[in-house]
Amino acid sequence: MNNLNIWQQLVEQTKLRWPEVLEATSVHIQLVFFSMILAVLIAVTLGILITRVPKLKTGVLGAAGIMQTIPSLAVLGFMIPIFGIGVKTAIAALFLYSLLPIMRNTYTGIKDVDPATIEAARGMGMTSRQILFKVELPLAVPIIMAGIRTAAVINVGNATLAAFIGAGGLGDFIFLGITRGIDGLILLGAIPAAILAIALETFFSAVERWTTPEGLK
């Protein structure tokens, strides 16, 4: 195998492991999907909270920012005593890495709503809850979607590290390729991960454009 060039190795490994690639891609998507669902629910809620209670902003955003500075493998290591080895730990770590961009964009999107628009809604008799759900959040959706897009793309890359704790995914091929010195195996994991990241970027970019009001495009 090592006598073949990298592209020949990739072709050979693809022929041998195509069903495994499909299964690993499915696992990879599930890791990203479930971690993102949790992150969106929690981060958007926290983002709304810090717009209503400004004194919490520094602490909440600071804590999420600190999480971003911790190496991914270290976060996985910290999670193992809590969730054990496997999928739960991977999802928990990916969830933590997703919080900051979504939370920060939620906060920014709501705070950037024109105060005159809010005053007009209040003048129409809307309650604070109605203003949030009928005015602020709809106008903030494009910015929130940008944060979700960023988090999703980052998570696709970080999810490859799940292989180190037995959670599966495309990182299995990268790890196996490194340990065996087979570059084709590394590409077998890296290329589908890159394609998945590009697909998510394209999808969320389209959603972001679709949710942007005509006057703001």
**pLDDT tens string 110-127:** 999 999 999 999 999 999
Check if the beta carbon of residue 57 is closer than 8 Å to that of residue 111. Answer: no
How many angstroms separate the first and last alpha carbons of the chain? 52
pLDDT at residue 130, as a whole number: 93
pLDDT at residue 53, as a whole number: 93
pLDDT at residue 217, as a whole number: 53
Q: pTM of the full predicted structure?
A: 0.88
pLDDT at residue 73, as a whole number: 82
| Residue stretches of the chain with pLDDT short of 70 | 1-4, 213-217
pLDDT at residue 27, as a whole number: 95
Cα–Cα dist 49/64, whole Å: 14
Cα–Cα dist 172/189, whole Å: 7
SS3 assignment, position 170: coil
pLDDT at residue 166, as a whole number: 86
Identity at 163, one-letter amino acid code: A
pLDDT at residue 120, as a whole number: 93
| % helix, strand, coil for the chain, step of 5 | 85, 0, 15
Please return the burial class of 187, using the count of CB atoms within 10 Å of its CB with bins 0-12, 13-18 and 19+: buried
pLDDT at residue 62, as a whole number: 92
pLDDT at residue 8, as a whole number: 81
Instruction: Give Cβ neighbours of residue 17 (< 8 Å, ≥ 6 apart).
Output: 173, 188
